[in-house]
Structure 1
Amino acid sequence: MDDKGWAVKGPLELHEAEWADKFARASNIIYELDNLHPSEVDKKHQLLNDLFGHIGEKTEVLLPFSCNVGSNIKIGKGSFINAGCTFLDTDSIEIGDYTLLATNVTVICADHPVSTRERILPVDDDLEDEDYSYIDDKGNFDDSIEYTFLNTKKPVKIGNRSWIGANTIILPGVTIGDNTVIGAGSIVTKDIPSNVIAVGSPARVIRKNK
């Protein structure tokens, strides 16, 4: 399917050779990063440039850092990614200039349908049908069939000069504007505009940010 209607059965690295290659490449680079001596600054910068789709000048990423693909991540200049951040970048993650991510921020592009019938599907494509014949009237799945789950994805974008507080989780499809602060421990489930402060689970705008 094209990206607009992208949906692939998983686990991606087991069933899709292209994804397996992407995941393996990122894992190898991250392994090297996490085993660097602190003095190996030039090597670290080289590996980050190899990992990301783009990383701007004077942007710093503290380790450990984790991601799925790496090449789907683009970060502007002068930004700061603190230690322990995790990016599930099956789709694009764009971070602007001079933006701060505090420790243990999680940015998620990977998604799955909420409905169990849509999320859990037979491995064998020939067994799928519109009537869900492998599910009885009581909602029980036929245990003689092997199942897997459906993967979907949505991009995430964070604007310029924003600050994402520690332990924040940003969910698939979210855009956060410029000059915006997200309070620590928030879960961002929908778009947050520019020039505001938002906190909570789910994150809600509490006031303007001048």
Structure 2
Amino acid sequence: MRIKDKIIDRIREILTGGANIEKLKKRGLKVGNNLWLGYGVSIDWTFCELITIGNNCTITSKVHILAHDASTKKHLGYTKIGRVNIGDNVFIGVSTIILPNVQIGDNSIIASGSVVTRNVPMNEVWGGNPAKKICSLDEYLNKHSSQSVITQEDWADENRRKNIIDSWEKNNSEMKYIE
């Protein structure tokens, strides 16, 4: 491939929103089945062979997964690298940053805007900067299981959607949306 074509491909990747999983897999990224990636996900291109993503994971928009830390390069002459292992059935919220040497356990949820600097055990919900445990997965699911349910049909119908919005304004509560 000519250099001009490589540059055009790279610009296209950037403009269309980030990680090209197929290219990263060819470079060594390990990915399970049924991965959903949002817009603008960035996966460490240089050290992608140190990253593993399990089955049935959702990685939402603008998430950064890093397997290196170059903060030591200028002063000490080296870059730190480390593995990142994301387990099965993990949800990672918008604009999260995952740093090197981190394992995220199966069935865990990482809240939007988190900076994950240490291991997350399985079946836990973590968030913040630096990320810390918020609650267990069971506690989180129990808390959210009693909310009102909205279907696609409800939201698609203009009158029902207006009633839903009015209800929110009166009750100031969360609702569930089922696709």
TM-score (norm 2): 0.63
Which residue identity does 2:52 align to in structure 1?
E
**Equivalent of 2:36 in 80, 85, 93:** 80
Higher relative contact order (CA 8 A, sep 6+): 1
Q: How does 1:24-173 map to 2 (within 5 A)?
A: 29-31=9-11, 33=13, 48-49=21-22, 51-53=23-25, 71-91=27-47, 92-112=50-70, 114=72, 117-119=75-77, 150-173=78-101
Aligned partners of 1:186 and 1:203 also within 8 Å: yes
Matched residue, 1:208: 136
**Equivalent of 1:174 in 73, 84, 102:** 102
Deviations 1:33-62 (A, max 9, x none): 5678xxxxxxxxxx753x032xxxxxxxxx
Aligned partners of 2:72 and 2:79 also within 8 Å: no
Larger helix percent: 2
Question: Are residues 206 and 90 of structure 1, via their aligned partners in 2, closer, same or farther at CA, if it must alter by over 3 Å?
Answer: same
Unpaired runs of at least 5, structure 2: 139-179
* Greater CA drift, 84-93 or 165-174: 84-93
1:152 deviates by 2.8
1:28 deviates by 6.5
- Structure 2: distance between partners of 1:108 and 1:187: 11
Which residue identity does 1:165 align to in structure 2?
G
Aligned residues: 130
- Structure 2: distance between partners of 1:175 and 1:26: 33
Aligned partners of 1:105 and 1:165 also within 8 Å: yes
Question: Are residues 30 and 194 of structure 1, via their aligned partners in 2, closer, same or farther at CA, if it must alter by over 3 Å?
Answer: farther
Aligned partners of 1:163 and 1:180 also within 8 Å: yes
- Structure 2: distance between partners of 1:158 and 1:98: 11
Question: Are residues 100 and 199 of structure 1, via their aligned partners in 2, closer, same or farther at CA, if it must alter by over 3 Å?
Answer: same
Moved over 2 A (4+): 25-36, 112-117
**Equivalent of 2:123 in 182, 195, 201:** 195
1:71 deviates by 1.3
- Structure 2: distance between partners of 1:177 and 1:189: 14
Aligned partners of 1:89 and 1:109 also within 8 Å: no
Unpaired runs of at least 5, structure 1: 1-24, 37-46, 54-69, 120-149
TM-score (norm 1): 0.54
Which residue identity does 2:66 align to in structure 1?
I
- Structure 1: distance between partners of 2:36 and 2:53: 10
Aligned partners of 2:83 and 2:102 also within 8 Å: yes
